[in-house]
Each structure stands twice: as C-alpha cells, then as structure tokens.
Structure 1
Amino acid sequence: MSGRLVAFVLALLAVGVLVAAVGGGGGGPEETRTAALAPGERAPVPVPLPEADVTGVDAPSIGLSTEETTDLGRNADDSLEVPRDAGTVGWYEESASPGAVGPTVLAAHVNLDGEQGAFFRLARMPAGATVEVHRDDDTTAVFVIDRVERYAKYTFPTEAVYGPTPDSQLRLITCGGVFDPAARTYEENVVAFGHLTAAYRSG
C-alpha cells in the first residue's frame, strides 16, 4: 500500500472515531434503541427505576385513565393530605417513586361533594389487575394488584402501607364504608396492595 493510500485510510479512521465520539456521548445500546422508538412503541427497561415524578395513572379494571396528578405531603397532625379535587390522583412525595425500591403510595377520593372520585371503584379492584404509573422521564412502572383490604379508620395499617419493602410495591388508598355527615368523613379506608412486574419506555 502506498504512503498516500495509508495516509488516506488513517484519515478515514480518525473521522470515524470522531463521529463515534460526538454521536455516542457515552450512550450504550439502550440509548440507541430508545432514540429509534416510534411513537407509541414500547421498550422494556431494567428495574428498579431511578427517582421521577408521577404524570399519570392507568387502571383499566376500575375505568381509570388520568394525567391529573399532584404531589401530596402531610397535614399538621401527620395524616396524609388529599387531592383538592375529585378526579386527581395524588402521589405521597415521601414515598418511593413508582418503580423504585419501596412502596409507592397513591391516594384519591372515592367521592367529593357528590362528584365521583378517581378511586370510586377501588374497593372492587380484583386481584391480578394491572396498574400502570407513568413518570416524567417517559418511563412507566407496571404493577399487579395482590389484594384489596378495608380497614376502620382507627385500625389503619400504617406500617404495612408506608413501611419499607425490599422491592418496588404499590399502595392505592381511598375512603370507604359509611359516610359520617357529622364528621364529614368515611368510616373506613380502602387499600390496594400491589407489586412491580415490569417497566417500559414509550416512544
């Protein structure tokens, strides 16, 4: 090979390395696949997931599909805040991000001032139902419901709902039972317990 040809080949290799460096930016095969996703296409992602905010919830078994979400904190008496309107699902901001290790706690009304709440049918959610929680990093955590329980207000299982878990789990909370008009509250809480089964990124 002549010296001129060798120099030409080396120049091409150098350009190739430069393009790879600029285009790759440290991205691996997963980033390449993500960039190639078509609108509506899904690609599985490894779990547990990093922290991210909740942007929507789909629970087909109870007819719920909403992007109306909010963050919830605690009241002065340490009770969980509730969403300000009937149709919003609140994420307790001190609980785990959906798909991260720990329990993700979501709460919504069963009814508010005569308006049907987002969790109106939660007490009827069957075991094995799927709940998808969408996140602001374009990933979705997919949970399966294990069981739905009802508790009197004074026997609420705080540790079982909020306590640490070794994996990613889900808690859905609303009110239930008889409404006490004097206290303006329901006599029970309904809690659905679930666990993470998968996560995906949307195109």
Structure 2
Amino acid sequence: MAAPEAPPESPSGGRGILDRVTGRFTALILALLAVGVLVAFVNSGGEEPAPARSLPPAERVSVPVPLPAAQITGLDVPSIGLTTQDLTSLGLRDDNSLDVPRSAATVGWYQRSASPGEVGPAVLAAHVNFRGEEGAFYRLGQMAPGQTVEVHRDDGTTAVFAIDRVEQVAKDSFPTEAVYGPTPDGQIRLITCGGVFNEQTRSYEDNIVVFGHLTEAYRPA
C-alpha cells in the first residue's frame, strides 16, 4: 500500500476532542506508514493476563528490554490518577488524520507506532473532554518529568516509562518528527488537546504532548 501523502494528525473536532496536528514526516517515516482507517478494540487475550494495576516491587520479576510486540491491556498513570483498561487501537482516516477514541474514557494506541516496550515511540491519544465528560487525559498537562507511566501488555509483561518532558504546542507547529519519528530505544508519547478553546472552530488551538522513555519491564512474580 502507498505511504500517506500527509503525516498522521491528531483528531479534529469540537467540544474538547483532540486537535489536528500538522507537520511532515521524513521519507523514512513515510515509508513505514500505510494509508488506511482502522479502529478495533485491543485484543486483551493471551495465555497470561497482564496485571490490571501497577504491582509493588516485591511482586515483580524484571524482564529484559526492549520487549517484543504485544497488545495493550491496561494503562496506569499514577500522577494523574489514571488506571484504565478501556483501550482501543487507532488507525488513520481517509484524510490521513489520526482517528479518535469513541468515548471520553477510552485511550487509543496508534497501531502504526511501536508497541509499548518495543524500540520506537509508542503513541497513545485520548480526549481531554468529550460531550461534557472529562477525558482520560484530562489532567495530562499536569504531568512532570520523572513521573511514570506503566503499560500492561497481553504477554503478561508491563513496560515502565519515565517522563522526560511535557510540551504544549500549537497545531501549526506540532513536532511531528519528534513524536512519530524513529528512536534508538523504547519511548512513549501521550497526546491530547490543550490551550485555548476556539468557539468558532469548536476545537482547542494547541496539543499537550508528553514524552517519555522506557526504563524497565516486569511480569508478576
């Protein structure tokens, strides 16, 4: 299948859903993407279910990183009070914009990005608010460097990421390559909308992007 003519964008629309992001991929990134739209619920099957919540150190067994590909079964972001198994995978719309979760509480994983724990950036997106409800990433902009994100996977492992930085960026200067471009190690990107809400366009003018890197992985002891 042909590569998209434009880079993936965060979802567009009103009432606080994710804003579109702009920018262009390098030729390498374009070569890795295919045009298509897919929204399918993440398969939470697997012989050994991943833990629903973060486990204390005494109940963990470390596993080598990076990890192989696997589906996501849960997400823990303690600093913003988020623990969820309401997950979906996201593809691209016909206009090559990133599709959106269908509810405020759902977190979407961009299926053309790395699995959390693999080499490369794993890209997750969710609403800040939607149809009068707080979104899963409502407090995303409150995150700070050093805080952690844990992604539970259907192979029984959990990938742990440390936050490096939190950026608020205008749609017309979205750091596309920094978000979607290849990395030498496992990384994570969390995206929602932010900034001023434009009543005319019914969308936020900025995006909040959280950048982090893989620090460890474990499975239940």
- State TM-score, norm by structure 1: 0.79
Q: Report the Cα distance in structure 1 between the residues aligned to 2:143 and 2:82, rounded to whole angstroms.
A: 11
Pick from 72, 75, 90 the counterpart of residue 108 of structure 2.
90
Unmatched runs of 5 consecutive residues or more in structure 1? 1-33, 35-39
Alignment of 1:66 with 2:84, yes or no, is: yes
Question: Runs of 4+ in structure 1 displaced over 2 angstroms?
Answer: none
**Which has the larger displacement, 40-49 or 183-192?**
40-49
The 5 Å alignment of 1:141-152 reads 141-152=159-170
- Per-residue CA distance 1:42-88 (angstroms, 9 max, x = gap): 21100110000111110000110001000001112211111110011
SS state at 1:123 partner: helix
Q: For CA contacts below 8 A with separation 6 or more, give which structure has more relative contact order.
A: 2
Structure exhibiting the larger radius of gyration computed from Cα positions? 1
Match of residue 18 from structure 1: none
Match of residue 134 from structure 1: 152
Query: How many residues get paired?
Result: 165
Match of residue 161 from structure 1: 179
Q: Report the Cα distance in structure 2 between the residues aligned to 1:156 and 1:114, rounded to whole angstroms.
A: 26
Match of residue 102 from structure 1: 120
- Per-residue CA distance 1:157-199 (angstroms, 9 max, x = gap): 1100000000000100000011123322110000000000000
Match of residue 198 from structure 2: 180
* Aligned partner letter, 2:65: V
* Aligned partner letter, 1:188: D
Q: Report the Cα distance in structure 1 between the residues aligned to 2:179 and 2:132, rounded to whole angstroms.
A: 28
Match of residue 22 from structure 1: none
Q: Report the Cα distance in structure 2 between the residues aligned to 1:165 and 1:179, rounded to whole angstroms.
A: 32
- Per-residue CA distance 1:10-41 (angstroms, 9 max, x = gap): xxxxxxxxxxxxxxxxxxxxxxxx9xxxxx63
Identity of aligned residues (%): 68
Q: CA deviation at 1:119?
A: 0.5
| Bigger share in helix | 1
Match of residue 142 from structure 2: 124
**RMSD across aligned C-alpha pairs, in angstroms?**
1.3
Q: Report the Cα distance in structure 2 between the residues aligned to 1:113 and 1:152, rounded to whole angstroms.
A: 23
The 5 Å alignment of 1:34-53 reads 41-53=59-71
